[in-house]
Amino acid sequence: MEKTLKGRVAVITGASRGLGRAMALALGHAGARLALVSRHAVEPGENGFEAASFACDVASEEQVSATAKAVIERFGTVDILINNAGTNVRRGVTEFSMDEWNTVIGTNLTGAFLMCRAFVPYMKGKGFGRIINMASMMAHVSIAGRTAYSASKAGLLGMTRALALELAPDGITAVAISPGPFATEMNAPLLNDAQLNQQFVSRIPVGHWGKVEDIGSLALFLCSDAAGFITGTDIVIDGGWMAQ
């Protein structure tokens, strides 16, 4: 089955860089019209597809509501929602401030809830819809200094399962993607530290960091008609890390 998204409208948060940008490019080249959501509006660029940028802090109820209104005014509908916006604070649990905890939970978990609450009403009634929540392998396993991040991503898995059951009668699927070690800006502290970088690579069975294009290809499949029977689950893409 051809993975075309012609005529579909996709909302992607955290779309200005990294995994979000890779997914936007994959969906756009497949024919989707894109609403690119990030903290600071950026020029979509000339990529041969229709895209518009919207500035929004997904942790803000007011900004998410305003963004939903603006997206509908621009595109008229929404078929696909990818909750990709995320942040991380690497710190021991006793060193975390409440502001830091709330920032991570607010962006990674509450932000996905607010986006779903705002956009799902526009997805209903068409017999088709796709929600992708970007979790992490840190929702399944963890390492020291990731209490807030792991908590937020594990919460996304529970949200995804509940959404899948709630929205199945409307033909809307909900799936989580759990990336492992990918060479993105969020992982710059590891990538730029030669010792830590080598430690990470040595634990990846395939022997290298993931390429963002791999996430783009997976997201494209999950948003296509070919993935209509996949819902309420989580797809780990980690180079074999969790198989150990």
Residues 139/150, Cβ–Cβ less than 8 Å? yes
Q: Does residue 113 contact residue 158 with C-beta atoms inside 8 Å?
A: no
Q: What is the pLDDT of residue 21?
A: 93
CA distances for 200 relative to 88, 145, 192, 193, angstroms:
17, 15, 12, 11
Over residues 74-120, the pLDDT tens digits come to: 999 999 999 999 999 999 999 999 999 999 999 999 999 999 999 99
Contacts of 195 (CB under 8 A, 6+ apart): none
| 149: annotated active-site residue | yes
What pLDDT score was predicted for residue 199? 80
Residue 90: both structure tokens together: 């690497």
φ/ψ region of 13 (left if φ > 0, alpha if ψ in -120 to 50, else beta) reads beta
pLDDT tens digits, one per residue of 165-206: 999 999 999 999 999 988 777 777 777 778 888 888 888 999
The whole-angstrom separation of Cα 141 and Cα 36 is 30
- Determine the pLDDT at residue 113: 98
Q: Give the pLDDT band of residue 2 (cuts 50, 70, 90).
A: low
pLDDT of residue 41: 73
**Residue 73, φ and ψ in degrees, nearest 5:** -60, -35
* Residue 183: per-residue pLDDT: 77
CB 114 within 8 A of CB 64: yes
Give CA separation, 126 vs 120, 167, 171, in Å: 11, 12, 8
CATH topology of domain 9-232: Rossmann fold (3.40.50)
Predicted local distance difference test score (pLDDT) of residue 101:
97
Query: Domain ranges in the chain?
Result: 9-232
Residue 223 φ/ψ, nearest 5 degrees = -90, -5
Question: Catalytic pick from 54, 119, 122, 149?
Answer: 149
**Predicted local distance difference test score (pLDDT) of residue 213:** 94
**Does residue 45 surpass a pLDDT of 80?**
no
Helices (H), the chain: 18-29, 61-75, 98-105, 111-123, 147-167, 188-191, 194-202, 212-223
Number of alpha carbons in the 13 Å side-chain half-sphere of residue 32: 30
Say yes or no to pLDDT of 46 above 70.
no
- Nearest CA-CA partner of 24 in 33, 214, 228: 33
Convert the pLDDT of each residue in 211-226 to its tens digit: 999 999 999 999 999 9
Q: For 114-165, how does the pLDDT look when each residue is reduced to its tens digit (9 = 90+)?
A: 999 999 999 999 999 999 999 999 999 998 999 999 999 999 999 999 999 9
Looking at residue 118, what is its pLDDT?
98
Q: What is the pLDDT of residue 81?
A: 98
In tens, the pLDDT along 20-31 reads 999 999 999 999
Distance CA 125, CA 2 (A): 24
